[in-house]
Amino acid sequence: MDLSEIKFTRGVPDPVIFPKKHLAECACAVLEQHGDFVLQYGPVGGFPPLRDWIAGQYKVENERILIAQGSLQIVDTISRIFIKPGDIVYIEEPSYDRSITVFKRAGARLVGIPLENDGLDVDALSERLRMGEKPVLFYIIPDFQNPSGKVLSLEKRKRVIALAKEYDFWVIEDSPYRKLRYKGEELPSLFELGHDSVMHISSFSKLIAPGLRTGYVIAPLDVARRLLKFSEDTYINPSYLNQGIVHEFIQRGLLETNLIELKKVYAPRLLTMLDALDEHMSNLADWTRPDGGFFIGILLRQNSKADILWDRARKVNLHLSDGRGFFTNGYGEQFVRLPFCALTEKEIVEGVERLAQLIRAI
Amino acid sequence: MDLSEIKFTRGVPDPVIFPKKHLAECACAVLEQHGDFVLQYGPVGGFPPLRDWIAGQYKVENERILIAQGSLQIVDTISRIFIKPGDIVYIEEPSYDRSITVFKRAGARLVGIPLENDGLDVDALSERLRMGEKPVLFYIIPDFQNPSGKVLSLEKRKRVIALAKEYDFWVIEDSPYRKLRYKGEELPSLFELGHDSVMHISSFSKLIAPGLRTGYVIAPLDVARRLLKFSEDTYINPSYLNQGIVHEFIQRGLLETNLIELKKVYAPRLLTMLDALDEHMSNLADWTRPDGGFFIGILLRQNSKADILWDRARKVNLHLSDGRGFFTNGYGEQFVRLPFCALTEKEIVEGVERLAQLIRAI
């Protein structure tokens, strides 16, 4: 085997561009200036200056914010408070596999709302609600969705919010990729369109580094209070040191420059992957053309057995995520999530070529 | 009111002696040497060099270790896996209030086993088990117990382990204060006496700083695998940066010197508190004389109404924890937890004096 290893499983940032030196300086500064404070126990909501900064960005009171050890822990906390076994939870189909696992563990009965090119099928959603189905919450990744890369259109965002109000369910908006738009115009978030019905989750994992484990949620005040209490009862408080580093990084103007740097590296990788797909996959699969984020999800036209495809892929040193993890009810045999951020352009081109050859041979 | 504020609620380390400068240097070193690694996502078990170091300390395989965001999150994870609603969980009475909250939230039916001067009443335990009660786990803080300060005797440790094997329940050994012994000889841990029946939890919160949020558990391999999987499904992985700082701190020999420093500061505070209790409380309350840890728990001889005592205390600027939080079933009116590590000797003497005056006046 002389084929180099290509990991289409790597839905992560490229560590080569982590701002290590800057983060080291920020860590020193935080420990020097706020050492006694960040090293002690403290209130669960998070390092107060970072909480204030987020509050300012979103124009909300800081009591509505919980900063935690990454977004997934927040999804888990929400699930433990709001989902009783047997409760209906809507997700986009496909959706983020780790969130699906969290909802299932809470005992949710998951219902997948299909994705169209401009995001979830709101007619299907509306129909289910009109027939009397009562979801407690709808988990949506509206911007550069994981795993599909799709963006929910403005018109559909408005309709989702209207339905959430009419039928009284929570929208959980998970938005880690929102700021990683490589072209085009940002759409209003679901939170901006209807913050009484939305818990908005975001994170610095994709904008600075996942290892800082700093995600946050903004919720209506009464909900925020429940999230805070539940979180304190679970882990007392998150690491203020990490949150202090994030805050210092922002104060020094480094978040903005880092975002520019990330886009400079990631945007050409997205284009390279789109070109490679056009060249090698045009009769084999369908995909959307995202303007940002980490992923392009492709749907194979031919019926394929995932197990066979993954096995053969491994034999040519190509690693693929199991598409079925992104679906409820065992669908996903024909779905392949292709991440492009942590791969070089050479790896992207070779990986798509190898994948196309395999699909043709099935 | 010209009485200075005294907080007997502060069951925390003294931030004045946090090794801030050393930790800043360690943070820089970790980001320089392992930046790409600690800033990325990674396996849930923890920063591998720290995991290996802990494994070496306890002479176990590193696969048996989970390092997490503080000990309480580990107690929560254990509860979610092992406790079904209605299951019986034994705790020492009194016990750590935050763990009690976690067990209750998991739906446990809590049974308190009374504490004697040499730790839990093993005869009472044995009797309950012989009568057929079937606990799933017994949560024990054997060294310098929170909130009482008591130490479980060697003979009782052996009997608890024998009972755990005979009646097939898990011992959760929570040991954050074990290394903070100011005099006398360390006893074997429950883990050392019977590691097949024990999940041993410890933490660097009291030995370095709580803000690093670094606790860990050692469990039998099959249990560890379940804890790891469940934790990964909850928060992907903990902060390697914090764990890397802990590891670097240890590698530089700073943990040992820090422990010496902590003992030098805390030991006289314990003695001061014991002296103050002898002087002012000898006819009012009973207490044990711990050789380490953070707390002396005192039991008032007179019947007192906690609410009245706390109210009057607040009026003389003395803050007390609610003793009832450490008990099941609403006991604890006469129990006061007195922490001594984060208070000056002057505050300790004045605080005990003020408390004695209040008790006399009830």
Encode burial over B336-353: b for 16+ CB neighbours within 10 A, e otherwise. bbbbbbbbeeebbbbbbb
DSSP letter, residue A238: -
- Among B31, B36, B73, beta carbon nearest to A15: B36
pLDDT at B283: 92
Q: Which two tokens stand for residue A343?
A: 């791969």
Cα–Cα distance for residue pair A35/B355, rounded to 1 Å: 32
How many beta carbons lie within 10 A of that of residue A33, not counting itself? 13
What is the C-alpha to C-alpha distance for residues A238 and B5, in angstroms, rounded to an integer? 28
3-class SS of residue A305: coil
A310 CB burial (10 A radius; 0-12, 13-18, 19+): middle
* 3 state DSSP class of A318: strand
Asked casually if ipTM beats, i.e. exceeds, 0.85, the reply is yes
Say if A303 is an interface residue toward chain B (CB within 8 Å). no
Helix (H, G, I), strand (E, B) or coil at A136: strand
* Length of chain A, in residues: 362
**pLDDT tens string B213-242:** 999 999 999 999 999 999 999 999 999 999
Q: Say whether B76 and A28 touch across the interface (CB within 8 A).
A: no
Is pLDDT at B82 greater than 60 in this prediction? yes
Q: Is A196 exposed, middle or buried (0-12, 13-18, 19+ CB in 10 A)?
A: exposed
Query: Is there a contact between A242 and B240 if contact means CB atoms under 8 Å apart?
Result: no
Instruction: Quickly state the pLDDT bin for B1 (edges 50, 70, 90).
Output: low
Question: What's the mean pLDDT when you consider all of chain A?
Answer: 96
Structure tokens at B134: 């079937």
- CB of B101 within 8 Å of a chain A CB? The answer is yes
A37–B contact, CB cutoff 8 A: yes
Look up residue A294 and give its DSSP letter: S
Across the interface, which of B36, B37, B242 has its CB nearest the CB of A239? B242
Q: CA of B337: how far to CAs of A29, B7, B115, B297, B322, in Å?
A: 36, 11, 14, 4, 8
Q: What is the pLDDT of residues B245-290, one digit of tens each?
A: 999 999 999 999 999 999 999 999 999 999 999 999 999 999 999 9
pLDDT over 70 (residue B103): yes
Model pLDDT for residues A152-192, shown as the tens digit of each residue: 999 999 999 999 999 999 999 999 999 999 999 999 999 99
Q: What is the distance between the alpha carbons of residues B187 and B190, in angstroms, rounded to a whole number?
A: 9
pLDDT classification of B308: cutoffs 50, 70, 90: confident
> Do residue B239 and residue A101 have CB atoms under 8 angstroms apart?
no
Number of CB pairs, chain A paired with chain B, less than 8 A apart: 150
Are B145 and B151 contacting, i.e. CB atoms less than 8 angstroms apart? yes
Q: How far is CA A209 from CA A31, B49, B289, in A?
A: 19, 20, 48
| Per-residue pLDDT, A118 | 97
Among candidate residues B112, B96, B100, the one with its CA nearest the CA of residue B11: B96
φ/ψ of residue A298, rounded to 5:
-120, 150
Q: Is B98 on the interface with A (CB under 8 A)?
A: yes
Any B CB within 8 A of A265 CB: no
Single out the residue of B128, B193, B106, B130 nearest to residue B158, CA to CA. Answer: B193
Spell out which residues of chain B touch residue A35, defining contact as CB-CB under 8 Å: 15, 18, 20, 23-24
Q: Tell me A94's DSSP state.
A: S
Contacts of B218 (CB under 8 A, 6+ apart): B54, B58, B60, B64, B65, B191, B195, B199, B200, B224
Residue A1: the pLDDT is 52
pLDDT, residue A163, reads 98
Chain A (170-209) residues lying within 8 Å, Cβ to Cβ, of chain B:
209
CB contact A40 to B (< 8 Å): yes
CB contact at 8 A, B273 and B338: yes
Rounded mean pLDDT of B289-301?
95
Written as one string, the DSSP assignment of A327-356 is SSTT--TTEEEEE-TTS-HHHHHHHHHHHH
Adjacent-strand bridge partners of A114:
A93
Secondary structure letter of residue A12 according to DSSP: S
Mean pLDDT by 10 residues, chain A (362 residues): 86 94 97 96 97 98 98 98 98 97 98 96 98 98 98 98 98 98 97 97 97 98 98 97 98 98 98 98 94 96 82 94 88 93 97 95 84
